[in-house]
Structures are given as C-alpha cells and as structure tokens.
Structure 1
C-alpha cells in the first residue's frame, strides 16, 4: 500500500506538470525546419517510430493476456504501466545542460521541462516520440533479465537466487550498450554530452556514455532482479505484498500503482545519474537534425 500511495503521488505530480504545460499552449510540435536530414534518415525515423509503437502495443497485449490468465495484474503488466507513467521524467537529465539529443524530424512537442520542479535547462527544447518510446522500451530489458534469471536457475541449480540476480544485472553492462547503440544509430536519440574517458565512441554523435549503462544495470535492472529473487512467486514481489488480501479490483489497482511507483523511482534515480554525467561531461558537435532547436 505504501508503494501504491507513492505511485499515486507520482501520477498527481505529473498531472500537475502536464496540465500547466498544456494550458500554457505547449501541446504542439515545435516549428519544423532549421536542420538538414537525408532521405534515408527520414525513412529510418518513421520506421523507428512505427516500430516502437507497434512493439509497445504487442507487449501491452501480451501482458494483458498474461494478467487475464493469472487473474490479477502481472508483474510485467505493472512494470510496463509504470514505464509509460515514467516518461514525464525525460527532461530531468537536462536540468542544467542539454543532455539528450532528440530527433527533430520525428513527432515531437515543446518540452515540459520548465514545468518540472527544479528544472533550469536550456530553451527552446523538444520532447520526441522516439525518446519517450525509448523509456518505455526498457520493458524489453526487463523481459531479457527475467528470461536470463530463469535460465540461470535451471542451468546453475547450485547458485543462490541472489547470485543469479546479480549476474543478470552485471550482464547488462554488455547487453545494454549493444541494444542502446542500435537505437541510437537508428536515430532514436543521441547523448549530447560526453564523459571524458568513460564514453564509447567519444565525441561522435552516436557516442554512448557508460554512465548510462551503469545506471541501467545498477539502478534499473538490479533492484528489479533482487525483488524477483527474494520472492517465491515472481508475480508477488515485495511491492505487491498485501494486494491479494484486497477485493479483486482494488488489489489490481494497488499492483498497478506499485508498478508506477517502482518504475518512477528507478528511472528518476537513473535520470539523476545522467544529470550528474552531463555536469561532469562536455558538449559535442551534433548533426543539425539532432541538435537542440535554437529558435
């Protein structure tokens, strides 16, 4: 219940942010133009947008069917809902400096950054569909981790569950750069600031600060895997404790809100790490199509 209450708080805060943002007339795309982009890159951008939305619909349907079969909201469904409800945190990495390069050709809206508590970033700025989709596609990271955890328990029966969870999290020090790099190359987004000596392909528009990979492994995957490792039933992790004692609909609402809470906490911690990364890093030259708008 405590996690569910915190999830409700997160939803109320983002409703407050988005309401003020929309009432001030920001719910529209930033004026187009002011950049150059090849035809191939435009086609890729459309493909990534369509593919990302399709993947999310497939995942939502699969998790809904799984929840129907279980008779309650599954862990995967709650975490997917939580990721959708965590997209509002996207501007936080750019509290002071432009840290996330958005594809300006893709579907976008004016940033809601100025309406976030403590945000002092650079304007004008946008929030793109491909960046939002990237947040929600962390669900694929979750599914990979759960599959790897099950595989390790089957093939390493002498391992403790916590040891398997730790190995799963550590594996993302390799898995995350591969998956992340593919999405970046396809034009989903770009890391616009490099951390000296701690960035793959440092200085290129497709660079990957390893602070991001470290954050994914330690602040996102590891907490989830520890919860699963400590639970007898992966669909009854500690943040769902007590939900079965409630009436059916109330229990499902609590599980969904707990998922919202966990994902917001994990991704807020990740964004704070990326904020620190941006502060100790330096800006790089970006192609015009992924630079921050200047007008």
Structure 2
C-alpha cells in the first residue's frame, strides 16, 4: 500500500487508487491514512465528520462509509491480485478493531513517516556540523511535499489540526535546510527562493533573517536592511510587537559589517531556535 497525505490524498493498493470521490468517506480515509497502522476510535471519526456534534445515526453512518471504502479496496485487490501480497480481502486492509478501525499499510510507503525519517537524519547531521548531508537529507524530505497536506479533503477539527501540525514540521525542515545552505556558502542561490518565501510568510522572522543574511553576503546590504524595516512594520501593524532581540542583533550586525566580510567570514553561529520565541520556526545565522 502507498499512502500519501503531503498534498492531495492518495492511497493506492498496488498502484490502484482507493480514494473515494465523496467528501465524507474521503475524510474518513484521510484520518485513517494519517494514522495508518493505529486504531482510530469510531468516536474520533464521528467528531471529524460532524465537528464534534455527531447525529444519533453517526455510528451507523461511519460504518457505511467504512463499507464504501472496503468496496474500493476489494476492487483494487481483485484488479491487482494484491491477495498474493498478504491481503486476502478488504477487511485485512481496513481492519475493524474494538472501538474503531485501522488502515493496515502492510509496511508500504507512507510519505508523512518518510518525511519524519529523512528530516530526522537532516537534523542529526546539522547537530553534527555535517551541513552538506543535512542539506541533502532535508531537501529529500521536502521533495515529498506535493502541496498543502490533505489539500483536497474537507477538513473537520481533527484533520485541520493535523494539517497545521504537518505544515509546522515542513516549515521547520525548510528553515533548517536553508540554514545548512547558508553555512555552505550558497547565499546567492537562495535569494530567489527566499524572495518568494518572505512574501508568503510575511511575519516569519527566521525566514526574514535568512533572507537578510543572504542579501548581505551577496553585497546587497541596503536591501537586507529594507527587509528588516518591512518586517518590523508588518509585525507592529498586524501583531502589535517588535522584532525579536535576535533579529535586532542581526540588523545591527549588518549595519556595522562590510558585505565582503560577511561573504568571506567564518562559519556563522546560530542565534534563533524555536524555543527562543513562540511562532518563530527555527534558527537563522549571524553575520560574520
């Protein structure tokens, strides 16, 4: 089985899609796919479908949606001969357990798990100062994303929270991959990507700090300082707050540091981590 949730929902048995077109069965499959190989209580599925206000018929309706999913799975098994891979019928794939249901991946691909594995390798490489390996592992992890998580699934409370959590993990990996690239001296290559990112995430301090650093190291100090001023204006106007102390330090460093020094200086030191400030995804690097 192949399970992909980092983008449009895509669940396949031996290459055959088992994703339903109807919205609510798609929601059920989305939550089961995210928690593959774990039992999802029927009550959790009902909360997702009816936003915490399930009707009296919720249990029976959830069972109906499960039956619809099993019909799709049975067709895929019949088409592909998946029974030879250990799945005799749909009940072996979408398993009924006491109190709920479990989607049995059979050890197949799950993109969210693969993302966590690759990102974890990248984080460990960063901690070990192997920035080349970190950049490669984190880039591989990020390439698994095909768009926003569950982009084509109606999101109730459960899936909305999970989609937000997954997006935060993506931003953290992205931040660390950019940090690794900066440490490898790839500041000019990063400029185009960071231009788009700071426009998309207008209050994200870490990305703005990385953009400032990349601009400054490319000999564009004035533009780096303009990025700071735009961010400060946005933070004050929209959130009523000033930039973090770390970002202010970076601005002061750019003011007093020549571009050529920043470009040829030693390995940068990290100054911002997620724990330093709520809402800041990960660290960016000091000038010089």
TM-score of the pair, normalised by structure 1: 0.25
Q: Which has the higher contact order (CA 8 A, sep 6+)?
A: 1
Which of structures 1 and 2 has the bigger CA Rg?
2
TM-score of the pair, normalised by structure 2: 0.26
